[in-house]
Amino acid sequence: MTIQVGDKVPSINLSIMTDSGPKPVTINELSTDKKIVLFAVPGAFTPTCSVQHLPGFLEKNKELKDKGVDTIACVSVNDPFVMKAWGEDRGVGEDVLMLSDGNGEFTSAIGLEMDGSGFGLGTRSQRYAMIIDDGVVSALNVEPGPGLDVSSAEAILELL
């Protein structure tokens, strides 16, 4: 079942890369008493993700923060080493937290997985963006198909 507005985000470990290696973190930890925007991409270094989705959240970072967002995070079913390399390649710095859902456990738990095996990708995440207030989903925009529209930074800004 797909996560819905009003649902609490499941407490499942994701990974962030630190100087000492991968470190587990949950969305609940990141959002306790905070507002976060979490957006998901089917894959690091893929065209729409690298050219539009992630850059949009970098460009709109200040506007999102000015609207009360504490953290902007990107999640993908990629390992933490890939997410770190992609973040460095795109110059995210401290503006976007790069989260790895290496085994797809978080993605599966929220019901937003997709079958990318036709493209050699295996099980991945659908493209979406959500606003999470203190661990609870307050907005969720899932792309209905290929492309970037409802999960863009601009679309999320309109919801804040």
Q: Tell me how far apart the alpha carbons of residues 69 and 150 are, in angstroms, rounded to a whole number.
A: 18
Instruction: List, for residues 44-63, the tens digit of each pLDDT value.
Output: 888 787 778 999 999 999 99
Which residue in 14, 17, 40, 49 is the catalytic one? 49
The segments of the chain whose pLDDT lies below 70 read 120, 122
For position 51, what pLDDT does the model report? 76
Q: Active-site residue 49, yes or no? A: yes
State the Cα–Cα distance between residues 158 and 64, nearest whole angstrom.
Answer: 10
Measured CA distances, 98 to 27, 39, 79, 85, 145 (Å)? 12, 10, 11, 10, 23
Helix (H) or strand (E) run with residue 128 in it: strand 128-133
Delimit the domains of the chain by residue range: 14-159
Q: What is the pLDDT of residue 122?
A: 67
pLDDT for res 48: 81
* Nearest to 78, CA basis, from 107, 55, 115: 107
The fold of the 14-159 domain, in CATH, is Glutaredoxin (3.40.30)
